[in-house]
Amino acid sequence: MDLRVTSQQVGSLKNQQLTHSQKVPFFLTPRLGELSNKNNSKRLTDWELQDLAVQVFRERIAKDGHQLMSWNGDPRVNPSVWFVGASGGPEWVLVRAVRYPEKEATEPENMTELKSHFDKMGFSGHFASVAIASADDPFDPDAERNGNFVPLYRGCGMHIRYEGLRPL
């Protein structure tokens, strides 16, 4: 599903949350079209990027029928999300976001310590990588090398890639 939004429709979108309906090979929906002029917009901060990734994950896990227990969009807080898993017990998720041209987020350095801590309490853990790119990005295959990619701006369209949970 590819949604394109005109600048006249921005007002009606301000209170809507991002949703997606299916997995696709690289980027998930939505693709919201240009919402504002990049010249008047500010770049997405690391905190905003992480918060967006947690929002994408929350919506997906809720759509899959799981009950959310708590979440936090602060990149310094681990885990990012707690939800009721298939077994009926609490499970935790470390959500990490990356900006294109990176395609996959890396686990935090203290992942082994976190996993060990929660394993002792009997809680299953997961890792979720969310990659985000500008809707205007040319997707140059050499973007990491030559810097040919479009930064993420507040209010502008984005492609979102989330391919599911990876058990820890």
Topology (CATH level 3) of domain 7-167: Trna Endonuclease; Chain: A, domain 1 (3.40.1350)
Distance CA 70, CA 58 (A): 10
* Per-residue pLDDT reduced to its tens digit, 142-153: 999 999 999 999
Q: Which of 26, 162, 22 is nearest to 81 (CA)?
A: 162
Number of residues that this document lists for the chain = 168
- The answer to whether 16 and 3 have CB atoms below 8 angstroms apart is no
* Per-residue pLDDT reduced to its tens digit, 72-99: 999 999 999 999 998 899 999 999 999 9
Q: Is the pTM of this model over 0.85?
A: no
